[in-house]
Amino acid sequence: MRHIYKQEIRWADIDSFGHVNNATYLTYVQEARVDFHWYAPKARGEKALLMDMVVARTEVDYIEPLKEPHIFVDVAVWVSRIGNSSFTLSYEISYEGKLYSRASSVQVAVSMENERSRPLSDEERAFLTKHLELPK
């Protein structure tokens, strides 16, 4: 099940080439990720999970430039892999059905006591499994 986050393209996101700056896509992905595992569950009255994690890797494919400020793009996020202590999230950024970017990020669960990786809990694994969509 994909989670959809509505992200506004702000005037400040547009660079001197007249399109969204490449680094800004990582901010869009981050906003969608936090909404996915923190704000959206809290809004549903559920427990927010996966706050004790670090991003180990991100990757972005730029398909078409986004050029228009003050529109809201859809940032779809879903789980594409679940490991022992890490998981991969996949993202698609689109507007009115047109795909502009794909991205992925690998998160690692960490223990706040020793700042080392730790296994995902059963509760975290169940949450991630609800959003798992394996690559085709």
Model pLDDT, residue 130: 94
Give a yes or no: residue 135 inside a domain.
Answer: no
Give a yes or no: residue 98 inside a domain.
Answer: yes
**pTM for this model (two decimals):** 0.93
CATH at residue 19? 3.10.129.10
Instruction: Work out the burial of residue 72: count CB atoms within 10 Å of its CB; fewer than 13 is exposed, 13-18 middle, 19 or more buried.
Output: exposed
Q: Which residue type does 118 have? A: R
Give a yes or no: residue 45 inside a domain.
Answer: yes
Give a yes or no: residue 136 inside a domain.
Answer: no
Domain that holds residue 38: 3-130
Is the pLDDT at 135 greater than 80? The verdict is no
Give a yes or no: residue 126 inside a domain.
Answer: yes
Number of structural domains the chain divides into: 1
Structure token digits, residue 62: 């730029």
Residues 101-131: pLDDT tens digits? Answer: 999 999 999 998 998 999 999 999 999 999 9
Is the pLDDT at 136 greater than 80? The verdict is no
Residues 7-61: pLDDT tens digits? Answer: 999 999 999 999 999 999 999 999 999 999 999 888 888 888 888 999 999 999 9
